[in-house]
Structure 1
């Protein structure tokens, strides 16, 4: 195969993973063994494995070796995750709706949170129509799935909308029954419509550490604005999602 055959070797290993020869949680043979089996040098193996790692198929684990990723991506629902049937008339917040759609168990403590009053940065200030530096509440959450971080979500609110409500209580988990949207509804600020936008980028060092990302994995960035029926902006949210841990699913009516 020669020393330039890392792409071919990566293709062989990729196919073996996809066909179940190496099952989720299994460890690939040692690099020296792969080099001998495919008549290449160890550098070629190392480069091929790095390519698979960048694709999110394998993860290096200390003292174990190169391990095939354990779980399929979680479904992240689109508009369905915000259904009022879930949070207004039930007790299923958005991240839990994703878990249920993916057939996975969840518990409230899968979501941690830190709440603080901070100064609005230019983007948050522009969204709410206030001066930069004005006080806003920041509610930062880290969400895990069976102990593995999946994403962060940080929401911003005007103090007059959420003061003395569960949305500024730092207790881990959703902000009470029905989560933040239910709290806003009780304040007379029922969410009615929202705008979400997404883009991808490479993570910052802090995001790599917080989400326990393998080398080369990008993140999906969510930006969400939530409004009442009369157009009052009640939440600006920013999310950072590990790209390989979600599939993004949207259902919607086709406009006329």
Structure 2
């Protein structure tokens, strides 16, 4: 009779190591015992010890460094995201407030935000066309960024605009950093297209290989994809954006009245 998954030696070893990590006995960045040491400590085969580490790696608690061993995953400040991040007074702000953990009221730290930028004129696919109200294949500007906090990548954001809305503006400038002095929304205001309403759809999934490399994600960490459509007060769509966020770096927080 085989052991159940919950009582298998590899699971028991993983549970024990997880407890040490949670209690702070193995701190972030700390090196774990080798497979050989774990096998000797728990009186199991090296294969069983390897399975225990694989469990923790899949859970995102540890990372492996080729030729060096396994380490407790470093903890990163968490940013709470809500509607206030789109407030007009924040359009020129390049610093963000992050929290020590995902609990309200936890210690905060100010981090410097940054972004790369690639701009191209592309053909709208069905999703982009529907969001912007243009024909499939119509030329739209694509503005792709990798966002960072204190130099560490946290998420990607790729925005799409109607060509006539942003042609010749700083939104089409490929230099790193926010567009112009006030960011993309301020540029749209200058064109008579003031952002007024935003619709966001959030979904969780596992990252692609490219996304995992770009965001430096450990094995097993999911991402949250955010699709955003921005409209004017008249309901005219002026931007469609897709963001891919490292799940461990963000918490989405919304407060709103309960509808009738």
Normalized against structure 1, the TM-score is what? 0.89
Q: Are 1:106 and 2:112 matched, yes or no?
A: yes
Q: Which residue of structure 2 aligns with residue 48 of structure 1?
A: 52
Query: How many Å apart are 1:98 and its aligned residue?
Result: 5.1
Are 2:231 and 2:238, in contact at CA under 8 Å, matched by a contact in 1? yes
Q: Which residue of structure 2 aligns with residue 248 of structure 1?
A: 251
Normalized against structure 2, the TM-score is what? 0.87
Ranges in structure 1 where 5+ consecutive residues have no aligned partner:
none
Query: How many Å apart are 1:249 and its aligned residue?
Result: 3.1
Shift >4 Å, 4+ stretches: 98-102
Looking at structure 2, the residues matched to 169 and 99 of structure 1 have their Cα atoms a distance apart, in angstroms, of 29
Ranges in structure 2 where 5+ consecutive residues have no aligned partner:
100-106
| Farther-moved stretch of structure 1 (234-243 vs 141-150) | 141-150
Looking at structure 1, the residues matched to 48 and 59 of structure 2 have their Cα atoms a distance apart, in angstroms, of 17
Which protein has the bigger helix share?
1
CA deviation map 1:173-204 (0-9, x unaligned): 11122211111111111111101111112222
Are 1:113 and 1:172, in contact at CA under 8 Å, matched by a contact in 2? yes
Query: How many Å apart are 1:222 and its aligned residue?
Result: 0.9
CA deviation map 1:200-247 (0-9, x unaligned): 122222222222222232221111111111111111001112222x23
Are 1:77 and 1:98, in contact at CA under 8 Å, matched by a contact in 2? no
CA deviation map 1:149-173 (0-9, x unaligned): 2211100000111111110000101
CA RMSD of aligned residues (A): 2.1
Closer, same or farther in 2 for the Cα pair 1:191/1:99, shift >3 Å? farther
Looking at structure 2, the residues matched to 54 and 149 of structure 1 have their Cα atoms a distance apart, in angstroms, of 21
Query: How many Å apart are 1:133 and its aligned residue?
Result: 0.6
Question: 1:206-225 maps to which residues of 2 (within 5 A)?
Answer: 206-225=210-229
Q: Which residue of structure 2 aligns with residue 134 of structure 1?
A: 138
Looking at structure 1, the residues matched to 152 and 42 of structure 2 have their Cα atoms a distance apart, in angstroms, of 34
Are 2:77 and 2:98, in contact at CA under 8 Å, matched by a contact in 1? no
Q: Are 1:78 and 2:77 matched, yes or no?
A: no
